[in-house]
Structure 1
Amino acid sequence: MYASERHQAILAKARLVGRVEVKSLAEELDVTPETIRRDLTVMERRGLVQRAHGGAIAVDRLGVEPGVADRDAVYTDEKERIARRALAELPDGGSIIIDAGTTTSRLASMLPTHIELTVVTNSIPIAATLATRPNISLHLLGGHVRSQTLAVVGTWPQDELATISVDVAFLGINGLTADRGLTTPDLEEARIKTLFVESARRTVVLADHTKFGRQDFANVAPLSLIDTVITDSGIDSELLREIEQGGPDVIVA
């Protein structure tokens, strides 16, 4: 059995029963547990499963969007590297948007103190991080706060975004694919992200490797509107090439 056939069999079972175990999969597919672990790693990078102790869970069986605390606790090293590399994309002064997200929050905490920046955000945690910084002119969008992401959404921030233009937008995202571009679970949050892209002269997406190959419910923007994607070294090389062919430069941190 080829690897692609194993992946299909593993995914079909995970979707049917919810959770799969390494030991039982190895026995059923007549391969070693190490082979199954490698398969699950590849499938997680493609956004098909989420690794769990001793096995994995199909992403589309998780049922709920993870909260900020849950997302902040995973892939911490990768997010730190991505955020640190994103500092090189900052304008030398000027204005930026920082989208809500756990990787973008790390970028906010790393912003230099020696340059004057105007920062627009829809994130309550990011606003709290930057509110007392003397070199930051902070603009927090007003509206309804989503408890899952602590992001401000709704018609109020949409109206505000129609009046601004910034140098760079730093976007967090849930999924990136060559055919659907950027996607996220919530329609209201997707609309704000779309307006972020439209309001910026350049858009830089911060996304760890698990976001590549994953598709969520709400469309944000095609890859052709994205200038740069910064990810980590866990990215699958085939997925990286697919995203690059869609238009943006992909930087591996």
Structure 2
Amino acid sequence: MYAPERQQEILRLAHEAGRVDVLSLAERFQVTAETVRRDLTALDRAGLLRRVHGGAIPAGRLGFEPDLTARESTSGDEKDRIAAAALAELPAGGSVILDAGSTVARLADRIPADTALTVVTHALPVAARLAGHPGVDLHLVGGRVRHRTRAAVDAWALRAYAEIRADVLFLATNGFTADAGLTTPDPAEAAVKRAAIAAARRVVLLADSAKAGQERFARFGSLADVSLLITDTGLAPADRAAVEAAGTEVVLV
């Protein structure tokens, strides 16, 4: 099958299912994942699809949000490397905010047992991972829990973050660009992320390279709000340059 034919079929599948993922397409067409990524990039540039984490959605669906299971099962190796590198940013004996996100949850899994740390989170999966940690003083932020992300949102969560000042926020995002900044599909979740940014002295963004160049419906910050981006080596040089131009340090792992 020639590339134009394959891309037309990918477009059809995306409109039928609402989403396509790289690995399934590679298996379906018996091509490499890299070939599929090139197809998706071509369709994205043509304005027919929008790249998302691990795949693509039909253009115009900026509000599309993969569920927690889908996000945890994609880019696992990259997320593991990012989470491992983030351990070096934990403040000794200090306080951190852990945002709702699959990579941040992997960081929570890796916090050493002998670490003394105050942790604040509005993410139920993160709290569940740390509830039995012997060195963590865990504070769970309340609010309405979104089914899709298992994260607390709305007024209770916003009030809680307005009352604290943490050393470091480990932040997640669905997309980041130089122009749009940091974005996520849901406005309520964006509001909590914005409040968490304001509650921290330093912001460390944990985001795999598939998030670069992606825009979602609700904006919650700019790259200038981020002190450090930890991402994987798939980040394009142009995207890295744009992040660094905003004053953000970049670490590739």
Same fold (TM > 0.5): yes
Q: Who is 2:38 aligned against?
A: 39
Q: Who is 2:204 aligned against?
A: 204
3-state SS of paired residue (2:230):
strand
Deviation of 1:63 after TM superposition, in Å, equals 6.8
Letter matched to residue 15 of structure 2: G
Question: How is 1:1-253 mapped onto 2 (pairs within 5 angstroms)?
Answer: 14=11, 18=15, 37=36, 39-40=38-39, 42=41, 48-49=50-51, 57-58=57-58, 60-61=60-61, 64-253=64-253
Q: Would you say the 8 A contact 1:44–1:210 is kept in 2?
A: no
Measured at CA, do residues 44 and 149 of structure 1 come closer, stay the same or move farther in structure 2, by a change above 3 Å? farther
Deviation of 1:51 after TM superposition, in Å, equals 9.1
Q: Would you say the 8 A contact 2:62–2:216 is kept in 1?
A: no
Cα deviations by residue, 1:222-248 (Å, 9 ceiling, x for unpaired): 111110111111111211111111221
* Identity percentage of aligned residues: 43
Deviation of 1:14 after TM superposition, in Å, equals 3.8
* Distance in structure 1 (CA, Å) of the matches to 2:14 and 2:107: 39
Q: Would you say the 8 A contact 2:40–2:56 is kept in 1?
A: no
Deviation of 1:39 after TM superposition, in Å, equals 2.2
Q: CA RMSD in A?
A: 3.1
Q: Who is 1:30 aligned against?
A: none
Measured at CA, do residues 56 and 115 of structure 1 come closer, stay the same or move farther in structure 2, by a change above 3 Å? closer
Deviation of 1:140 after TM superposition, in Å, equals 0.5
Q: Who is 2:27 aligned against?
A: none
Q: Would you say the 8 A contact 2:165–2:199 is kept in 1?
A: yes
Moved more, 61-70 or 240-249: 61-70
Q: Would you say the 8 A contact 2:63–2:186 is kept in 1?
A: no
Q: Would you say the 8 A contact 1:98–1:120 is kept in 2?
A: yes
What's the TM-score once normalised by structure 2's chain length?
A: 0.81
Moved more, 121-130 or 41-50: 41-50
Deviation of 1:15 after TM superposition, in Å, equals 9.1
Measured at CA, do residues 43 and 188 of structure 1 come closer, stay the same or move farther in structure 2, by a change above 3 Å? farther
Moved more, 36-45 or 225-234: 36-45
Q: Would you say the 8 A contact 2:86–2:230 is kept in 1?
A: yes
Q: Would you say the 8 A contact 2:83–2:107 is kept in 1?
A: yes
Letter matched to residue 113 of structure 1: A
Deviation of 1:67 after TM superposition, in Å, equals 0.6
**Paired residues, number:** 231
Measured at CA, do residues 195 and 62 of structure 1 come closer, stay the same or move farther in structure 2, by a change above 3 Å? closer
Deviation of 1:166 after TM superposition, in Å, equals 0.4
* Distance in structure 1 (CA, Å) of the matches to 2:53 and 2:88: 32
3-state SS of paired residue (1:18):
helix
Q: Would you say the 8 A contact 1:120–1:138 is kept in 2?
A: yes
* Distance in structure 2 (CA, Å) of the matches to 1:173 and 1:113: 27
Measured at CA, do residues 196 and 103 of structure 1 come closer, stay the same or move farther in structure 2, by a change above 3 Å? same
Letter matched to residue 214 of structure 2: R
Cα deviations by residue, 1:193-224 (Å, 9 ceiling, x for unpaired): 01111110100000011100001110111111
* Distance in structure 2 (CA, Å) of the matches to 1:45 and 1:204: 28
Q: Which runs of 5+ in 2 are unaligned?
A: 21-30
Cα deviations by residue, 1:97-148 (Å, 9 ceiling, x for unpaired): 0001110000000012222100000111111110111200000001100011
Cα deviations by residue, 1:65-110 (Å, 9 ceiling, x for unpaired): 1110111001000000000000111111110000011100000000
Deviation of 1:48 after TM superposition, in Å, equals 2.9
Deviation of 1:149 after TM superposition, in Å, equals 0.5
